[in-house]
Amino acid sequence: MQMVNFVCNTKYDFFLTFAAKVVYLFKIYFMAQISDISRGSFIRYNNELVQVVEYEHRTPGNLRAFYQVKMRNVRTGKLVENRFRPSDECIIVRVETRDYQYLYRDGENLVFMDNETYDQIYVSEATVGDNADLLKESMIVKIGMDGDTPISVELPTSIEVEVTYTEPGIQGDTATKTLKPATIETGATVTVPLFVNIGDKIKVDTRTREYMSRVK
């Protein structure tokens, strides 16, 4: 009799465990149409986890509309593009993010600290992407995790940085249409208006890397 009870409990526990896994997977993965994704979304593409970096709806003349999507392979960092029909479906992956503070660079890795536990993690430069050169010490970013593996790093939408080198500005020229290259304190190069000089603090949009304004 005891054996029967044991078997029943085991089956019941197995059922609960299985059900919990199904619910968990449903929360993490779900089918959707390609029109439901957006820039920054994580999807499964060719059995790989990728993040959408560019997403554009196009209607070329009399041809049928389509979505042109550029994606970054989370595992390799490589970029891939594909054209999707509006009716195409994809698997969207929900990724949880947490706040981390950027500390320093260690070779090809970047070191971040969890603001709650103070644990440090190493993130490859490829995972951060093209904006790795916009990171400043103590900057708070959002890191997406797949289990214990960091798969994405989201910078603030704008940052304030000092210009460390640029050609001398033109006094009195406040036009913003004509631009020149400038090196900022993180080592990145951005374009700025002619009136910006070395030592000026500027605001840069991290999504486009474009100059926004001078900071007084």
Mean per-residue pLDDT over the chain, rounded? 84
Whether residue 208 has pLDDT greater than 70? yes
Going across the sheet that includes 140-146, the strands are 120-124, 109-114, 96-106, 140-146, 149-154
More confident of the two residues 24 and 135 = 135
Looking at the fold, whether 84 and 23 belong to one and the same domain comes out as yes
Instruction: Find all residues with CB under 8 Å of 16, minimum gap 6, and list them.
Output: none
What is the model's pLDDT at position 171? 63
Q: Do both 67 and 51 map to the same domain?
A: yes
Query: Could you give the number of structural domains in the chain?
Result: 3
* Pairwise pLDDT comparison (208 vs 2), residue with the higher score: 208
Q: Looking at the structure, tell me whether residues 1 and 86 fall in a common domain.
A: yes
Same domain, 54 and 125: no
Portion of the chain with pLDDT greater than 70, in percent? 83
Average pLDDT on 76-83 reads 89
Burial of residue 166, with CB atoms counted within 10 A of its CB: 0-12 exposed, 13-18 middle, 19 or more buried: buried
Task: For the full predicted model, state whether its pTM sits above 0.75.
Answer: no
Range of the domain at 49: 1-90
Q: Are residues 139 and 120 in the same domain?
A: yes
* One domain, residues 33 and 12: yes
Last residue of a domain, one of 65, 90, 115: 90
Confidence band of 184 (pLDDT split at 50, 70, 90): very high
Q: 164 and 149 in one domain?
A: no
